[in-house]
Amino acid sequence: MLNTLRHPLIMGSQYYRAPTPARSEWRRDLEGLAAHGLNTIKIWAQWRWNTPAEGEYHFDDILELLDIAEQTGIQVVINTITDVVPAWIDIKYPDCRMVTLGGQVLGPQANGPRPINGAPSPCFHHQAAMQHSYDFLAACVKACHNAPALAVWDAWNEPELTEAIAREPRLENIVCYCAHSRTAFLAWLRQRYDDSLDKLNAAWSRNYRRWEELELPRSYETFKDMIDWRRFFIDTITNEFRTRVRIIREYDQVHPLMTHTVPFPIFNLVTCASDDFAMAADCDLFGNSAGSSPNAADLLASAAQGRPVINAEIHAMGGSTFYQNRPLSDLATDRYILPQLAHDIKGFIFWQYRPELLGNESPNWGLTDRAGNSTPWLERVAAVNRALRSRQDFLLAARNRPPEAGILLDAENEIFQWCIAHNCDHYANDVLGIYNALYQAGYRIQFVHCSAIPTPDKLPVLFCPAPYWLQADTLAGLANYVKSGGTLIAEPYFAGMNPANGWHNQVVPGAGWADIFGCEQGLVLQPNSAVFDAYRIGAGEAQAAGAQLVARWQGTEYRAAAYHQVVELCPTSEVLGTFSNGWPGLVRKAYGSGQVLLLGTYLGGAAGKGLSGAAELLAALAESPASSQRPHAHTRQVRVDVLSAGSRQLVIATSDAPDALTDVLHLPGITGTVLADIMSGERFPLDTSGSSTVAAVSFAPQQVRALDVL
């Protein structure tokens, strides 16, 4: 799909969010952008700005920018923004706004991302108000689809429910409790439960006699009703995006269509309700904001499932009126681009070209200074772009090796974890702890949606973080995965809940998995504290600081700190590790052609908190024949990846060391004679005399090198 674009290797910036920059600056800015070799801008078509009165559509600003872009050789992504509601909508429909559990009516208001007022969207279930947003979208597509500079429709900018206004996952922030959402939720429930009140009562443990009696969920406490309530809004966001896709496609079947999301855990499913995997399914290409971290890039690529992916908003120069970011060095600028190549990212759009002058995000976020003049970091972006464009055909075709380890994500489990912890921090720390441990050990990692579990030949090892709430279809998929030869590594309380009725299972692991693991959970030690930490076990009590899991794996002993809970495992299967008090804490059992491992503590959480030994044990458990030949550095301070297309290869080496160092890169399968840095031209000889190709490469502190294999 990218190859259909005038500039398939995207390098550019967000440019226009009305009313800034001023019209008088447009030509100079786009000429300057083109002179630096950048090829793409993203501009906003905003419902409030472009529809000041009912039936009036004014797209003269968008059309003028499209004309200037064509004259300067720039391609344009039009970002359609419907979460700034025209003032006349609120007058015509005074009941159109979302209502939080805490009783707050949301909007109309301005905030940093929406300085022209009108945020957030109307309630997505207020059909009359939303129809006006669809009319605006249709008018925009009809007005602009023939513009030669148009490249891509971005159908939704950072999909979420409330546009940052009630994003923090607190109970009082969740929406929407208006009458329109109640009506839509009842219809959703009737479809979900086959129009059977008996089935709903069985699922929620209630005794309703009429559908009209049903109360909207307002508490974390019984799980099942709240999970349904939040799933309803995930479906709401997904269906809203599909409506926008349908409207754009009705009037433009030519240009690619995308959305760009914000990665977990910045966006959560409780108050944001945007499921990356669901959103990507209707896209030609897929993007995200703030996606310059490895885990965000891998989540993006995993959700895209083979579709092209771009970093659609690089937040390199963030800040606010009172907090100015420091100038970007060349090394820091490189880190926003070069490492992402190893994660299948094929385009880079910075936020933004010229700093805005309106609102509290100003005057930051620019590649230029506030007057539109070049900066050292713009010059560095231009230099990186020149290096990439000279390798464009290779980079568009190049791929990293297949993933060697996966991390299971389940929307219902994420919501359940929020219900029990009252925040998303514990679950996010666990997921990212596993990811970072594997990333630092050099693995290629895939995030796995519960509805699409790969086969072991595609993904040999799969981790299940905090797997308390697992749906029946997920459990069936995991069983087939292991039977077929996969390795499943699970943390405590695997299938501890029954999602059919929201009850705790009497035996854990639940749903028959105690037999598969050859183990049941027994006693639990946990401090009576709101703050989770590692524990020392003494005299039958868990006390702050010190409990360890000592495990032996493939001939090596590992000592890892326990975290949050120490769970007694009562196995008939093989014991691989024990806790400080002698309880089994890691067990293994064969199942079919594969194997299952069960942990008695949250090892991902321990790694996420930087507790000793946890990351090392997680990395060891992930080893498989598929990962044994992965490229790596002699130290663990440099991450090494190799992109390949045909006979050509590019090494991406990312140092996380705070000091300069020289490290030996081990590069199995590399057959050249020298590595050449694409930016500096420095050369590092390849030594092929041993069992593996190696090269000694020097790094400045936290330097990223992209190295041609010659």
When pLDDT is cut at 50, 70 and 90, the band that residue 536 belongs to is very low
pLDDT at 545 over 60: no
Give the mean model confidence (pLDDT) for residues 283-298. Answer: 91
For 509-529, b/e burial (b = at least 16 CB within 10 A) is bbbebbebbbbbbeeebebee
**pLDDT tens digit string along 147-167?**
999 999 999 999 999 999 999
What secondary structure letter does DSSP report for 39? -
The rounded distance, in Å, linking the Cα atoms of 44 and 253 is 21
pLDDT at 531 over 70: no
When pLDDT is cut at 50, 70 and 90, the band that residue 328 belongs to is very high
CATH homologous superfamily for the domain 2-175+234-397: Glycosidases (3.20.20.80)
pLDDT at 592 over 70: yes
Task: Reduce the secondary structure of 506-520 to three states and give it as a string.
Answer: CCCCCCCHHHHHCEE
Q: Which residue has the tokens 């044994």?
A: 628
Nearest CA to 141 out of 283, 250, 256 is that of: 250
**pLDDT tens digit string along 48-103?**
999 999 999 999 999 999 999 999 999 999 999 999 999 999 999 999 999 999 99
pLDDT at 541 over 50: no
The domains of the chain are located at 2-175+234-397, 405-621, 632-709
pLDDT over 70 for what percent of the chain?
Answer: 97
**pLDDT tens digit string along 176-206?**
999 999 999 999 999 999 999 999 999 999 9
Nearest CA to 601 out of 469, 511, 506, 490 is that of: 490
When pLDDT is cut at 50, 70 and 90, the band that residue 216 belongs to is very high
- Paired tokens of 231: 């799933």
Name the architecture of domain 405-621: 3-Layer(aba) Sandwich (3.40)
Q: Are 618 and 439 in contact (CB under 8 A)?
A: no
**pLDDT tens digit string along 449-503?**
999 999 999 999 999 999 999 999 999 999 999 999 999 999 999 999 999 999 9
**pLDDT tens digit string along 593-630?**
999 999 999 999 999 999 999 999 999 999 999 898 99
**pLDDT tens digit string along 351-387?**
999 999 999 888 989 999 999 999 999 999 999 999 9
Residues 6+ apart with CB under 8 A from 113: 119, 163, 164, 361
Residues 6+ apart with CB under 8 A from 8: 2, 346, 392, 396
**pLDDT for position 690:** 79
> How many separate helices (H) and strands (E) can be counted in the chain?
19, 33
pTM: 0.96
Q: Are 365 and 17 in contact (CB under 8 A)?
A: no
Contacts 24+ apart (CB under 8 A), 374-377: 374/32, 374/36, 375/327, 375/328, 376/327, 376/328, 376/330, 377/316, 377/317, 377/327, 377/328, 377/330, 377/332, 377/333
256 vs 538, higher pLDDT? 256
- Paired tokens of 339: 């490492």
Residues 6+ apart with CB under 8 A from 421: 427
Could you tell me the CA-to-CA distances from 670 to 121, 401, 631, 663 in Å, in that order?
Answer: 52, 13, 10, 17
Give the mean model confidence (pLDDT) for residues 219-237. Answer: 96
**pLDDT for position 566:** 92
**pLDDT for position 527:** 59
Nearest CA to 54 out of 148, 129, 104 is that of: 129
**pLDDT for position 4:** 85
What secondary structure letter does DSSP report for 356? -
**pLDDT tens digit string along 264-278?**
999 999 999 999 999
When pLDDT is cut at 50, 70 and 90, the band that residue 1 belongs to is low
pLDDT at 26 over 60: yes
Half-sphere exposure of 533 (CA within 13 A, CB side): 13
Could you tell me the CA-to-CA distances from 97 to 100, 129, 166 in Å, in that order?
Answer: 10, 9, 13
Q: Are 385 and 37 in contact (CB under 8 A)?
A: yes
pLDDT at 534 over 50: no
Is the N-terminal amide bond of 402 cis, ω within 30° of 0? no
Nearest CA to 424 out of 409, 437, 438 is that of: 409
CATH homologous superfamily for the domain 632-709: Golgi alpha-mannosidase II (2.60.40.1180)
pLDDT at 3 over 80: no
The rounded distance, in Å, linking the Cα atoms of 435 and 332 is 23
Give the residue ranges of DSSP H helices in 355-405: 376-389, 392-397
Burial of 406 (0-12, 13-18, 19+ CB in 10 A): buried
405-621 and 632-709 agree in CATH topology: no
User: What does pLDDT average to over the chain?
Assistant: 94
